[in-house]
Amino acid sequence: MERTRKCALKDGRTMVVRPASPDDSSAVIDTVRSNAMERSYVLMEHYGKDVASEKAYIAGMNSSKELLVVADVDNEVVGCLAALQADGGRRPETAHTAKVGLHIREQFRGVGIGPYLLEYCIAWGRDHGFKKLEANIFTTNQRSLNLFKKSGFVEEGVRQNRIHVGGMFISEVLMGKVL
């Protein structure tokens, strides 16, 4: 699998999907935080603690167990996708599974970035011996649910009232794709 891929977006621009580097730390945090304003889409406690810790995390990634790629349009990071081996690979029972998270800046949604990032992730998962990809998506994020379904993920269950945000309870859809 090629580590860097170029593709044409629906709006005619070119996107480069590439592994994140430590220099992308600030842009990755900004991309994830750009979704945080939508509150029901992202849980910020897992991302964006600070640039220094994000740089150290990216620099220390194990590319056979962890994937962090960015979508770069006109030299700007506009999206990112992470896939992490379930339970950090510590449990043999789940080591075949990778958890997937995807973030795209709002103004870049709908031009084809999501499907390309998921396609990249699926190829990476197969190349690294994973047998399954999983994603947890809030029911309020219908756009993301549709994207994952179009990429071959299926609904495996729903955690009712999984999170309490902004005075309301939000359920979470568990999605999976067998590779």
CATH fold of 5-131 reads Aminopeptidase (3.40.630)
Residue 56's pLDDT is 80
If pLDDT is split at 50, 70 and 90, which confidence band does 83 have? very high
Residues 75/22/119/17 CA torsion (nearest 10 deg): 20
DSSP 139-169: TT-HHHHHHHHHTT-EEEEEEEEEEEETTEE
Residue 74 three-state SS? coil
pLDDT per position as a tens digit, 34-62: 765 444 344 444 445 677 887 887 887 77
For 98-114, what is the mean pLDDT? 94
Q: If DSSP codes are grouped into helix, strand and coil, which group holds residue 25?
A: helix
Instruction: Tell me what the pLDDT averaged over the chain comes to.
Output: 88
Confidence category of residue 167, pLDDT binned at 50, 70, 90 = confident
**Tens digits of per-residue pLDDT, 7-38?**
999 999 999 999 999 898 888 888 887 765 44
Mean pLDDT of the 131-147 span: 93
Residue 142 has pLDDT above 60, yes or no: yes
Q: Taking residues 121-140, report their average pLDDT.
A: 95
Residue 42 confidence (pLDDT): 47
Spatial neighbors of 132 by CB under 8 A, at least 6 apart, are 96, 97, 98, 176, 177, 178, 179
Q: Which residues pair with 6 in a beta bridge?
A: 16
On the 0-12 / 13-18 / 19+ scale of CB atoms within 10 A, 129 is exposed
Structure token pair of residue 111: 């031009």
pLDDT at site 1? 67
Residue 36 has a pLDDT of 55
CA distance 165 to 43: 10
The stretch 70-97 carries a mean pLDDT of: 94
Which residue in 54, 47, 66, 61 sits closest to 128, CA to CA? 66
Top pLDDT among 63 and 66 is at: 66
Domain ranges in the chain are 5-131
* pLDDT value for 40: 37
Name the percent of the chain lying above pLDDT 90. 66
| Contact between residue 159 and residue 170 where contact means Cβ atoms under 8 Å apart | no
Do 136 and 169 meet the contact criterion of CB atoms below 8 Å apart?
A: no
